[in-house]
Amino acid sequence: MDFSLSAEQRQIREMVAEFVDREIAPRAAEIDRTDEFPAELVAEMGELGLMGMPFPEEYGGAGLDYHAYAIGLEEISRGSGGLGTVVAAHISLAGNMLADFGTESQKETYLTPLARGVDVGAFALSEPGAGSDVPAMETRAERDGDEYVVDGNKLWISNGSVADTVILFAKTDPEAGNRGISSFVVRPGEDEGFHVEGTEDKLGDKGCPTAELRFSEMRIPADRRLGEEGRGFVHALKTLNGGRITIAARGVGIARAALEEAVEYAGDREQFDRPIGEIQTIQHKLADMDTKVQAARMLMHRAADLKIRGEDFRKEAAQAKLYASEISREVANEGIQIHGGYGYTTDFPVERMYRDAKLNEIYEGTSEILRNTIGQSLLD
């Protein structure tokens, strides 16, 4: 086993970290306050190749492995949890659906602008009555000649109101359960009947719009279906497995940011005529925080390694996301505790990190669902 980063991975970390420190971190509080999608920052990340990190160069991507991608996303999330979600939903969900299941023509037409950062992607799976229970979805896609007619609603769609390409899941055979779900490429700017009903006012994850979408007799060409009819559920599960690695990266990035803030504050804040960092209780908190961050990062890279090798990584991805999600909240909570009353105010960023961290335990597989996945894998 080699725990050292390659020269390319170190270069990616340094490049992204420099961009985050220069462009993202100074604006993170403003993004959190206004909750506006930072289109100019996303465009800059596209120019740097960060919106297509794991995709082949022939489709406009950077051709990086999943270790480097996770490293890059960790750094972005260190600067802003909301931007971490923007990138993860764009690459891990929308982009990977096209990369893994699209035809050559679909990749050239839709993946390339996503990988270049010219377009923004979204992944429309969840519905008001179908979150963890995906087969309960009610959105329908009925074949009509060379088109599909889509009717239904989607909820909790990251990037949904700003996306140029939306990967949509709908039932093409309502009687077939999860075998009746298919996936499609939707172009909001071209497809009549696509409506954004609004965006959610969330606890955290600001800057990444979470939209409710409605489809009213929306007609899309049949050649925009991804793969065969009825394979959408399988496609979604495979894609979400890979996405869990990058949500783990988001968790590590947020936890790291909270730890760094706590270390700095512990060195500056004085009580009882000495920095609080000299108090053993504070040192123990920092020690536990750092240990959790390091362990979460190792689980993240373990899952990424299995994915790169083409081995089954479902359990490992679930473990990485589960642990990184929970420790990101725990570390951010301890960061607030170390700051004392100041940590509970918006004058210090640890309260934002706490709010951003909580989402990790909910989206792309709740912690409860992940424990089911891990337990079933052990029994199998």
C-alpha span between 170 and 184 (Å, rounded): 8
What's the rounded mean pLDDT across residues 216-244? Answer: 98
C-alpha span between 351 and 369 (Å, rounded): 27
φ, ψ dihedrals at 55, nearest 5° = -90, 150
The fraction of the chain above a pLDDT of 90, given in percent, is 98
Give the number of residues written for the chain: 380
Task: Specify whether the CB–CB gap between 220 and 193 falls below 8 A.
Answer: no
The residues of the chain that CATH labels 1.20.140.10 are 233-379
Catalytic residues: 364
Nearest 5°: the CA angle 106, 109, 115 is 100
- Give the strand pairing for 147-158 and 210-221: antiparallel
Name the one residue in this structure whose structure tokens are 């740097």: 48
Confidence (pLDDT) at 256: 98
pLDDT higher than 80, residue 1? no
Q: Is the pTM of this model over 0.85?
A: yes
What's the rounded mean pLDDT across residues 229-238? Answer: 98
Q: What is the number of helices (H) and of strands (E) in the chain?
A: 13, 10
Confidence (pLDDT) at 220: 98
The two three-digit tokens of residue 56, written as one number: 């082949």
- Give the rounded distance of the alpha carbon of 280 from its chain centre: 36
Confidence of residue 20 (pLDDT cuts 50, 70, 90): very high
C-alpha span between 26 and 37 (Å, rounded): 16
The two three-digit tokens of residue 184, written as one number: 């499609």
The two three-digit tokens of residue 215, written as one number: 């489809």
Q: At what angle do helices 81-88 and 66-79 cross, to 10 degrees?
A: 150
pLDDT higher than 90, residue 3? no
Mean pLDDT for all residues in the chain: 97
The residues of the chain that CATH labels 1.10.540.10 are 7-120
Task: Name the nearest CA neighbour of 237 among 158, 313, 152.
Answer: 313
- Give the rounded distance of the alpha carbon of 67 from its chain centre: 15
**Cα dist. 272→184, 265, 269, 279 in Å?**
63, 15, 10, 10
Structure confidence by residue, pLDDT tens digits, 286-295: 999 999 999 9
Task: Specify whether the CB–CB gap between 76 and 88 falls below 8 A.
Answer: no
Confidence of residue 298 (pLDDT cuts 50, 70, 90): very high
Task: Name the nearest CA neighbour of 138 among 184, 174, 168.
Answer: 174
- Give the rounded distance of the alpha carbon of 116 from its chain centre: 18
Confidence of residue 95 (pLDDT cuts 50, 70, 90): very high
**DSSP label at residue 127:** B
pLDDT higher than 80, residue 15? yes
Structure confidence by residue, pLDDT tens digits, 323-355: 999 999 999 999 999 999 999 999 999 999 999
The residues of the chain that CATH labels 2.40.110.10 are 122-228
> Hey, which CATH number is domain 7-120, 1.10.540.10, 1.10.530.10, 1.10.8.60, 3.30.1360.40?
1.10.540.10
Long-range contacts of 19-23 (CB under 8 A, 24+ apart): 19/44, 19/45, 19/48, 19/50, 20/75, 20/76, 20/78, 20/79, 21/79
Structure confidence by residue, pLDDT tens digits, 34-61: 999 999 999 999 999 999 999 999 999 9
Interacting residues of 192 by C-beta distance below 8 A, sequence separation 6+:
218, 219
End-to-end CA distance of the chain: 27
- Topology at the third CATH level for domain 233-379: Butyryl-CoA Dehydrogenase, subunit A; domain 3 (1.20.140)
CATH, range 122-228: 2.40.110.10
